[in-house]
Structure 1
Amino acid sequence: MSDVDPVLLLATTDAATRTVLESELRRRYGGDYEVVVCADYAHARAVLEGLKRWQRQVALVLACYGPDDREGLDFLRRAYSLHPSAKRAICAVWGDFASTSDVFAAIGQGHAELVLLRPERRRDEEFHGAVVDALDDWHLAQGIGFEAVRIIGEQRDERTHSLRDSFGRNHIPVGFHQVGTASAARLLAGLGLTDPQLPVVQLAFTSPPTTLEAPSDLDIADAFGLMAPLTPDRVYDVVVVGAGPSGLAAAVYASSEGLSTLVVEQQAVGGQAGTSSLIRNYPGFSRGVSGAHLAFRSFQQAWAFGTEYSFMRPVESLGTEGGLRTVSMGDGSRVRARSVVIATGVDYRRLDVPELESLVGRGVYYGAAVAEAPSMAGEDVFVVGGGNSAGQAALHLARYARQVTLLVRGPSLAASMSDYLISQLEATRNVTLRYRTAVVGGRSDDDGCLAGLTLGDPHGTTTEEVTAGGLFVLIGSMPRTSWLPDEVERDQAGFVRTGREVTTATDGTMRLSLETSLSGVFAVGDVRAGSIKRVATAVGDGATVIATLHGYLAAHPAPATSS
């Protein structure tokens, strides 16, 4: 049904609002979507049921709430069970402040995702901007559209999963074709491949298209041709290692203030935040914003200011050459810089369950809920974790999975998760919260994919066997600091000490704010000891470090021989 236009459904008993919205929706979106308008909610529900039977995609369900329509919020709540992947919007009338508390309560409980104000004039771009953002998020989640990159491989394969996740998080339009399907067979035949090494990656945007069999990350980076070879004689003012929120913010401020800047990232822009389906508490985004969109906008912003990037090249070491710092990559390349900002973030902690290790990418995933959610349709899915990332993952997975169970080791979520997320989880009918529960075992099916889990209390005194089609683990924080030399002081957990926390400064001087024990090397974001694990504070670190770094650069002029 992918060649059939997705549906935008409007339902309201408010005749005046219905007339305005129908005109706006048909005029702006009628060419690309089928706009369906219903004058009462019983009819609208029947239409949604029919669309589900016909396997039609519904992109947006729009209802109203105000003095002339008090049923819209309840309708949107019920619509979720029929089309959970559809965006749900409530339209209000400007000046109806009496309805505000009900509308915002519904948003907080997850019954609707955004509030729109009814247009009171033609060309109401604020209204349409909100609609377009919602549709953009929907399309990104569905993976629909232009296939700049095509992947042919196994659905449950760790390398295939890793590539799909990396392309998606880097905002690269990717199409996945399961080997053995008609579409995969046609593509392979067109490429003249009969028994290729999987996965096969085709870069459809090159001329002629580039085909890679079982490529490494470096193979893909080179084939894309986005990055010029790193020049060993070049000296950057700052090299930022990591393209999460803190690293991208540092790049934006550094390059906008005239500093030559290189960002090195081994996987994808956005870090852990880039895997969040919807960040609702980031200041300035009242409708929420997906982690992928937030990261990609920051990436483009820094790029526009002149930041250079090197992707898919892991950093292996940090060194010193005279008064400069050196950063060495896994492919043997090396860059020199007057200063370095460590923004490598953290990894999710692994489960201490040996039988699940061989199932990573085959039903067991660390993060990656956005990339794999559509493949969980109809499955019983489990999410491990008690933080905001786990809550967002559970809500996103609930749009596709039959049932989602959030497993929490502790007795509650109050201390570790935002209240708005807890409310949404409790209000989502196919999400179950289980406290004082841990994963203590697992099993695979005949194809070597996850089939079930053994759950128990954290102390292992009781156990229970459950069927599981997917397990998503979002627990703890392991800082990515193994590549750093011993001179960079870390705390017992491996997080980098900065500023006044440093006790072993290499040159014996007082450390600047966010500066590590190694002079000219700074740390920001989640990798920094004592940081608050929030996107906004990570961005704040990135902005702050550049102000501090200016002082360091002024005190340490560039060598006369640098270019």
Structure 2
Amino acid sequence: MNKKPVILAVDDDAQVLNAVDRDLRSEFRRDYRVLRAGSGREALETMRELRAREEPLALILADQRMPGMEGVELLSEARTIYPDAKRVLLTAYADTEAAIRAINNARLDHYLMKPWDPPQQLLYPTLHDLLAAWQSQYLPKYTGLRLIGFQWSPLSHEIKDFLSGYLVGFQWLDFETNAEAQELLTAKGLSSTDLPVVIFEDGTTISQPAKTDLAQRMGLTVTAKQELYDVVVIGAGPSGLAAAVYGASEGLRTLIIERQTFGGQAGTSSRIENYLGFPTGLSGAELAHRAWAQAVRLGAEILAPQEVVDLCVQDGYKVLTLTDGSKVRTRAVVLTTGVSYRTLDVPGMDRLSGAGVYYGAARTEARSCDQQDVYIVGGGNSAGQAAMYLATYARQVYIVIRGKSLAASMSAYLIEQIGNTPNIEILPFTEIAEVCGADHLEEVVLKTNGQFEKRPARALFVFIGAKPSTEWVCSTVICDNKGFVLTGRDLVTDPRYPAIWKHTREPYLLETCVPGVFSAGDSRAGAMARVASAVGEGSMAIKFVHQYLDE
């Protein structure tokens, strides 16, 4: 909630100050907070405190004849602290000439004669006019979470993505271009070396925060509450969230652990238009957070951001080790770790990653591309959705593909939309050969049919396929040569992996080589990379969990 603007009355005569305070409160207390000061020095100190608390000051009403600092001097100095506040001088008839000179020289807004009785005629009309003029130019300060950083800082980009991924509203302030950001940092006693800095609504700050620090301030849980769970779901993409919803709704003690943000790769999609039941489409973030809220309502416990680094079996129980060294015990596990974007191996990519070069949609950077040229590498649906979203802001969006067209890799509805968008251009038979820039992306080098061309670029978004996020678990469960988890019949029929399954019953459809450990979604071998398919597999996994627990 925005704080009421302040009216500050200043007079060294206690009787006069009481009268001013009484009349101001009587007329303006509904919309303004009235403060008082008994001297110019006290008034300046009050203004500095208000400034440090980022409270708005609408009007200063100061007496002219005060010992130590006259009213004109005070109002002139006040202009350096609150340049937009209206400044009114209270003066006796004998000081009228000085007051008029002050209006001209010190740029005061008005002077009022003492006494002002009745105030309905001699005080309120003038102040109402001045306050109306101030209100017409006043923009209430943003009172939510604010992030101050550098536009081309990878850490600033990570924090923006993290906050956006959890649908946390925030105001981004670029330190290099935003005067308010510099003022805020100074007021907090910080410098540019402390960036990025997060300022919370209560005024507290965190400099260069870790994600776990932000998570705790946001009310997220990073420590398991129970000693033993029926099922732990690792990964909160569509398949993991579906597993959590069904597990919790069917009475299982369910825990879901996510290392980044909800939704996985689908969560970064600006628009999913082929998901059943949403004819007008919905964003990946919206879908993920609906599922998250549903899982929590049904009783699932969620740890985020928290990462599992090891899985082992002890006395039939599955023991998960987290990055902080803590352990979680469970009877069954569902691996829904998803996939991560493959990196583009060309000169400059590592150096400029997070500073104009982004893997995935990076929706938080779209507005910074306003009326600029951006490039997208890849021809899948994720690339197409990103192109449509970026076209809203960018001057021109170029989709770089190695092949002739998008037909082999992108859904027809997206190809049609792209074809009808005038500021999207397909560059066929083209590759990115190099990315250039000092501290951020400035140019891309294109290679087309053996010819090289350097072009200016504000941003480059990379969608060149994905690899399963299974490195940490491949020593426990069997993965294929690309890292995808083998499940079900593949464990007993694939000639490349003889005698993997050592139990009398056949493995359940989504079960790995470790009984009670299941895999669903994009990280599973043979899975279809579609949101609906991932949701279906996550739901199915709970059916097999029940069968395993009933053995």
* Shared fold per TM-score greater than 0.5: yes
The CA deviation string for residues 389-432 of structure 1, in whole angstroms up to 9 with x for no partner, is 00000110111011000011222211211101001111100000
Structure 1 counterpart SS, 2:450: coil
Matched-pair contact (CA < 8 Å) for 2:395–2:423: yes
Residue 452 of structure 1: how far off its partner (Å): 0.7
Equivalent residue for 2:452?
Answer: 463
Moved more, 353-362 or 397-406: 353-362
Residue 500 of structure 1: how far off its partner (Å): 0.7
Equivalent residue for 2:422?
Answer: 429
Equivalent residue for 1:197?
Answer: 194
Q: Which amino acid aligns with 2:313?
A: T
The CA deviation string for residues 183-217 of structure 1, in whole angstroms up to 9 with x for no partner, is 2123223423245521111232xxx4442111112
Cα distance, 1:194–1:453 mapped onto 2, change above 3 Å: closer
Cα distance, 1:320–1:367 mapped onto 2, change above 3 Å: same
Following the alignment from structure 1 to structure 2, what is the Cα–Cα distance between the partners of residues 517 and 190? 58
Structure 2 counterpart SS, 1:541: helix
Q: Which residue of 525, 530, 539 maps to 1:534?
A: 530
Equivalent residue for 1:123?
Answer: none
Matched-pair contact (CA < 8 Å) for 1:479–1:527: yes
Does residue 375 of structure 2 align to residue 382 of structure 1? yes
Moved more, 215-224 or 259-268: 215-224
Following the alignment from structure 1 to structure 2, what is the Cα–Cα distance between the partners of residues 528 and 521? 12
- Percent identity over paired residues: 45
Cα distance, 1:229–1:486 mapped onto 2, change above 3 Å: closer
Structure 2 counterpart SS, 1:405: strand
Equivalent residue for 1:223?
Answer: 217
Matched-pair contact (CA < 8 Å) for 1:318–1:327: yes
Matched-pair contact (CA < 8 Å) for 1:346–1:477: yes
TM-score by structure 2 length? Answer: 0.71
Equivalent residue for 1:451?
Answer: 442
Matched-pair contact (CA < 8 Å) for 1:498–1:514: yes
Does residue 232 of structure 2 align to residue 239 of structure 1? yes
Q: Which residue of 149, 160, 181 maps to 2:145?
A: 149
Structure 2 counterpart SS, 1:354: coil
Matched-pair contact (CA < 8 Å) for 2:521–2:533: yes
Matched-pair contact (CA < 8 Å) for 2:312–2:476: no
Q: Which residue of 233, 249, 253 maps to 1:260?
A: 253
Equivalent residue for 1:551?
Answer: 547
Equivalent residue for 1:417?
Answer: 410
Residue 522 of structure 1: how far off its partner (Å): 0.6
Equivalent residue for 1:517?
Answer: 513
Q: Which amino acid aligns with 2:511?
A: E
Does residue 432 of structure 2 align to residue 439 of structure 1? yes
Matched-pair contact (CA < 8 Å) for 1:348–1:367: yes
Structure 1 counterpart SS, 2:392: coil
Structure 2 counterpart SS, 1:394: helix
Q: Which residue of 461, 465, 468 maps to 1:479?
A: 468
Residue 150 of structure 1: how far off its partner (Å): 1.6
CA-based RMSD of the aligned residues comes to: 1.8
Matched-pair contact (CA < 8 Å) for 2:216–2:222: no
Q: Which residue of 471, 474, 485 maps to 1:496?
A: 485
Q: Which amino acid aligns with 1:160?
A: S
Structure 2 counterpart SS, 1:186: helix
The runs of 5 or more residues in structure 2 that have no matched partner are 1-140, 493-499
Q: Which amino acid aligns with 1:552?
A: Y
Following the alignment from structure 1 to structure 2, what is the Cα–Cα distance between the partners of residues 540 and 529? 15
Residue 334 of structure 1: how far off its partner (Å): 1.3
Cα distance, 1:267–1:240 mapped onto 2, change above 3 Å: same
Equivalent residue for 1:49?
Answer: none
Cα distance, 1:553–1:517 mapped onto 2, change above 3 Å: same
Following the alignment from structure 2 to structure 1, what is the Cα–Cα distance between the partners of residues 270 and 322? 31
Equivalent residue for 2:308?
Answer: 315
The CA deviation string for residues 293-343 of structure 1, in whole angstroms up to 9 with x for no partner, is 011100000010111111122221111121110111111111111011111
Following the alignment from structure 2 to structure 1, what is the Cα–Cα distance between the partners of residues 473 and 240? 17
Following the alignment from structure 1 to structure 2, what is the Cα–Cα distance between the partners of residues 249 and 358? 37
Equivalent residue for 2:163?
Answer: 167
Following the alignment from structure 2 to structure 1, what is the Cα–Cα distance between the partners of residues 182 and 309? 40
Cα distance, 1:512–1:387 mapped onto 2, change above 3 Å: same
For 1:45-84, list aligned pairs within 5 A.
Answer: none
Cα distance, 1:229–1:314 mapped onto 2, change above 3 Å: closer
Q: Which amino acid aligns with 2:315?
A: G
Cα distance, 1:224–1:544 mapped onto 2, change above 3 Å: same
The CA deviation string for residues 353-383 of structure 1, in whole angstroms up to 9 with x for no partner, is 1321110110000013322111111111000
Matched residues, number: 404
Matched-pair contact (CA < 8 Å) for 1:369–1:396: no
Following the alignment from structure 2 to structure 1, what is the Cα–Cα distance between the partners of residues 144 and 291? 22
Residue 261 of structure 1: how far off its partner (Å): 0.8
Does residue 377 of structure 2 align to residue 371 of structure 1? no
Residue 146 of structure 1: how far off its partner (Å): 6.8
Matched-pair contact (CA < 8 Å) for 2:269–2:285: yes
Q: Report the structure number with the largest CA radius of gyration.
A: 2
